[in-house]
Amino acid sequence: MNLDNLNRWLTLLANLGVLAGIVFLAFEIQQNNTIAKAQTRSEISRFQIENTRMFREPMVLQAQEKLATGQALSFQEERFLRNIMRQELKAWENVFYQYRMGLFDEPELEAYRVTWRDRANECRNRFFYETYRSNRMQLEPQFRVEMDLAISTAGCGESGN
């Protein structure tokens, strides 16, 4: 009988140890998820800061001024602006992917959706529309749906006029 009681106590202790291990593992997974979210946000923020710096470069400012005043762009200026737009689309696609993977919440994504809608409403900037159209099929399908919606609800239409 003593051996049977001892065996029950040892089984109970072993089961409690397993339960404690599961609780600890759940805590560790939650911590790793929090760290992953923070790292993802940091990387996306770093890209945005670099992108903002790029828009202050003299060549970009000159090209934007030409666009705003209706002047023709040089081949180099046009190519440079298209590359910036392409990078921006890929960064936005990454944000959407992070949202789908659970690393961004709905309110965080909505802040980006505002940016996407604002960009789609920049009617004078044909580069956004042309770059999006020429790169559309290279983007993830669910992200294309998001961007198509932003463009279709823009006040100036898809043509960029």
Q: How do residues 65-100 score in pLDDT, each as one tens digit?
A: 888 788 898 998 888 888 888 888 998 998 899 899
Q: What is the pTM of this model?
A: 0.68
The neighbour count for residue 45, using CB atoms within 10 Å, is 10
Query: Chain-wide mean pLDDT for the chain?
Result: 83
pLDDT digits (tens, 9 = 90+) for 41-52: 777 777 777 767
Which is it for the CA torsion 13, 18, 23, 25, positive or negative?
positive
Secondary structure of the chain in the HEC alphabet? Answer: CHHHHHHHHHHHHHHHHHHHHHHHHHHHHHHHHHHHHHHHHHHHHHHHHHHHHHCCCHHHHHHHHHHHHCCCCCHHHHHHHHHHHHHHHHHHHHHHHHHHCCCCCHHHHHHHHHHHHHHHCCCCCHHHHHHHHHHHHHCCHHHHHHHHHHHHCCCCCCCCC
Give residue limits of the domains in the chain.
1-54, 55-161
pLDDT band at 123 (very low <50, low <70, confident <90, very high): low
